[in-house]
Amino acid sequence: MSTRDLRPTRLGWGWLAGSLAVLGVAILAGALIGPVGMDVGSVLRSALDHLPFVSVDSGLSDRQEVILWDLRMPRVILGVLVGGMLAIAGGAYQGTFRNPLADPYLLGVAAGAGLGATLAITAGATGEGWPIDPLPLAAFLGALIGVALTYAMGYSLRSGRTAVTLILAGVAVAAFLTAVQTYVQQRESESLRQVYGWILGRLSTVGWKEVLLVIPYVAACSIVILLGRRLLDVMSVGDHEAGALGLNPNWVRLAIVIAATLGTAAAVAVSGLIAFVGIIVPHTVRLLAGTSYRIVLPLSLILGGAFLVVADIFARTLMAPAELPIGVVTAFVGAPFFAVVLKTNRSTGP
């Protein structure tokens, strides 16, 4: 083997281009599929028309334009952002905790967000007359409290330096927060339906407002996580050895976990609880493209978006004209997938 072949693993251009192409196809499919038919050419022309300094006649009627740009596209783009965020956050948690099963739903992040949102809904804070919609804000605070509790509990234990302790703490915190959330929800039974709708996840009621709300969080948090991609590879040899290599594993973990949690909370705030994306996408990437976080994180961000857009297409077409909550679709695929990951990873971690 020549010295030229002695290059470490990096994200190949082929994989990057390929996954961007998959995302493009998913977005196009999301734009095309629905009760009102449109053809590919018109949709692409209409997209071109929306670029600055370009004017093309799309051939779509005004009604079709409204359906495409005010109903379908915000939903598709939000799917891209939420799916990408949940997937990259899942990959980041798996790396920091060296646990293949870690995802935004461990660590109490989602449970905290759920409790926060339930409190907001049952308190009747629907956003009317408020400067900012209180629902995402409450979910956001709940998620932070959830992860902070997990952190405090994990580290107050004597052996809390290990990743496993922290995850067990997360499970306990999640169970507690879910119990509180269920209690609040049962007491306020008139808002039960609304809470359930939110808990099961939805991309249905979105407009560009939600997209604009979530974009800065997804961008900032993804950048922080992506900057840590090499460090997560170092973390894979364990805290002890990473420390001997000159890294402070606790600081790396704290930074990555905060980024992943903020991103998740923002995603959960606009779309509800969509489970298993953080497990399915990073593990599929590992299987196909490689296990280095230099590959797993960027590709999860891109393919997580594609995955959720496709899941949403199923959610709104399977029972059309009725809609299935998207969380049901992802859980339907994700739960068996989780079992497979559990089985293949019983003795080893990523």
Query: Quick one: how far is CA 300 from the chain centroid?
Result: 10
Residue closer to other proteins by CB (options 229, 316) is 229
> Which of 147, 300, 163 minimizes the C-alpha distance to 222?
300
List Cβ neighbours of 265 (8 Å cut-off, separation of 6 or more).
109, 113, 139, 140, 142, 143, 144, 217
248 in contact with other proteins (CB under 8 A): yes
Distance (Å, whole) CA 234 – CA 91: 15
291 in contact with other proteins (CB under 8 A): yes
Q: How far is the CB of 287 from other proteins (least distance, A)?
A: 10
Distance (Å, whole) CA 128 – CA 186: 24
244 in contact with other proteins (CB under 8 A): yes
Q: How far is the CB of 283 from other proteins (least distance, A)?
A: 12
Vertex 338 angle, CA 319 and 155, to 5° = 125
Distance (Å, whole) CA 72 – CA 207: 9
Residue closer to other proteins by CB (options 148, 247) is 247
Considering only residues 183 to 242 of the shown chain, the ones binding other proteins according to CB under 8 A are: 227-228, 230-231, 233-234, 236-238, 240-242
- Under rule CB under 8 A, how many of the chain's residues touch other proteins? 32
Q: How far is the CB of 75 from other proteins (least distance, A)?
A: 35
In angstroms, the Cα distances linking 223 to 27, 179, 220, 243, 301 are 22, 34, 5, 24, 11
Q: How far is the CB of 350 from other proteins (least distance, A)?
A: 6
Q: How far is the CB of 104 from other proteins (least distance, A)?
A: 22
Residue closer to other proteins by CB (options 5, 128) is 5
12 in contact with other proteins (CB under 8 A): no
243 in contact with other proteins (CB under 8 A): yes
Q: How far is the CB of 296 from other proteins (least distance, A)?
A: 11
Dig out the tokens for 203 from the structure: 């991309």
What's the DSSP call for residue 157?
A: S
Contact 96, 286 (CB under 8 A): no
Q: How far is the CB of 244 from other proteins (least distance, A)?
A: 5
* Binding piece for other proteins, criterion CB under 8 A, among 78-86, 114-122, 283-291, 311-319: 283-291
- Where does residue 14 rank: exposed (0-12), middle (13-18), buried (19+ CB within 10 A)? exposed
Among 246, 321, 343, 346, binds other proteins (CB under 8 A): 246
Q: How far is the CB of 151 from other proteins (least distance, A)?
A: 22
250 in contact with other proteins (CB under 8 A): no
> Which of 278, 251, 254, 250 minimizes the C-alpha distance to 264?
278
What's the DSSP call for residue 164?
A: H
Among 181, 264, 271, 292, binds other proteins (CB under 8 A): 292
Interacting residue ranges for other proteins, rule: CB under 8 A = 1, 3, 5-9, 227-228, 230-231, 233-234, 236-238, 240-248, 286, 290-292, 348-350
